[in-house]
Structure 1
Amino acid sequence: MRTGEAEFAANNDAAPVDMLAALFEARGWPCQTVSDDEISAEIQGSWAKYQLRCIWRADDNVLQVLCLPDIRIADEKRSASYELVAMVNEQMWLGHFDIWSNGSVLLYRHGAMLGDDGLLSLDQAQALVETAVEECDRFYPAFQFVLWGDKTPRDALDSALIDAAGEA
Structure 2
Amino acid sequence: MRATTHTLSANDDAAPVDMLAALFEARGWPFKAESKEEIAGEIQGSWAKYQLRAIWRAEDNVLQLLCLPDVRVAKEKRSAAVELLALVNEQIWLGHFDVWSKGGVLVYRNGAMLGSDGMLSLDQAQALVETAVEECDRFYPAFQFVLWGDKSPDDALESALVDTSGEA
Note the C-alpha offset of 1:5. Answer: 3.6
More helix by share: 1
Unaligned runs of 5+ in 2: none
Instruction: Find the aligned partners of 2:10 and 2:110 in 1 and give their Cα distance.
Output: 23
Equivalent in the alignment of 1:22: 22
Q: Could you tell me whether the CA contact under 8 Å between 2:98 and 2:106 is conserved in 1?
A: yes
Equivalent in the alignment of 2:90: 90
Equivalent in the alignment of 2:140: 140
Equivalent in the alignment of 2:70: 70
Q: Which amino acid aligns with 2:82?
A: Y
Instruction: Find the aligned partners of 2:111 and 2:41 in 1 and give their Cα distance.
Output: 17
Q: CA RMSD in A?
A: 1.6
Q: For residues 34 and 87 of structure 1, do their structure 2 counterparts lie closer, same or farther at Cα, with a shift above 3 Å needed?
A: same
Q: Which amino acid aligns with 2:11?
A: N
Equivalent in the alignment of 2:61: 61
Cα-to-partner distance string for 1:66-104 (whole Å, 9 max, x where unaligned): 000000001110000000000000000000000000110
- Count matched residues: 164
Q: Which amino acid aligns with 1:136?
A: C
Q: Could you tell me whether the CA contact under 8 Å between 1:77 and 1:147 is conserved in 2?
A: yes
Q: Could you tell me whether the CA contact under 8 Å between 1:9 and 1:22 is conserved in 2?
A: no
Q: Could you tell me whether the CA contact under 8 Å between 2:6 and 2:22 is conserved in 1?
A: yes
Note the C-alpha offset of 1:167. Answer: 6.3
Q: For residues 157 and 64 of structure 1, do their structure 2 counterparts lie closer, same or farther at Cα, with a shift above 3 Å needed?
A: same
Instruction: Find the aligned partners of 2:104 and 2:144 in 1 and give their Cα distance.
Output: 15
**What's the TM-score once normalised by structure 2's chain length?**
0.94
Cα-to-partner distance string for 1:112-164 (whole Å, 9 max, x where unaligned): 000000000000000000000000000000000000100000000000001xx
**What's the TM-score once normalised by structure 1's chain length?**
0.94
Q: For residues 117 and 139 of structure 1, do their structure 2 counterparts lie closer, same or farther at Cα, with a shift above 3 Å needed?
A: same
